[in-house]
Amino acid sequence: MHGATGNGWPRPLFNRSSRHRARLLTFHLL
């Protein structure tokens, strides 16, 4: 499921979500 395309999961959206989640996590850690 990592870097897999054609799985019905929009890569751009997934990437955006991942980045947003990472940012939120960093903010929480800070």
Cα–Cα dist 10/12, whole Å: 6
Q: Decide: pTM greater than 0.85.
A: no
Cα–Cα dist 30/6, whole Å: 36
1-30: pLDDT as tens digits = 455 555 565 565 556 677 778 887 788 777
Structure tokens at 30: 């800070």
DSSP 1-30: -TT--SSS--HHHHHHHHHHHHHHHHHHH-
CB 17, CB 11: distance < 8 Å: no
Radius of gyration in angstroms for the set of CA atoms belonging to the chain, rounded to a whole number: 11
Can you give the pLDDT at residue 19? Answer: 78
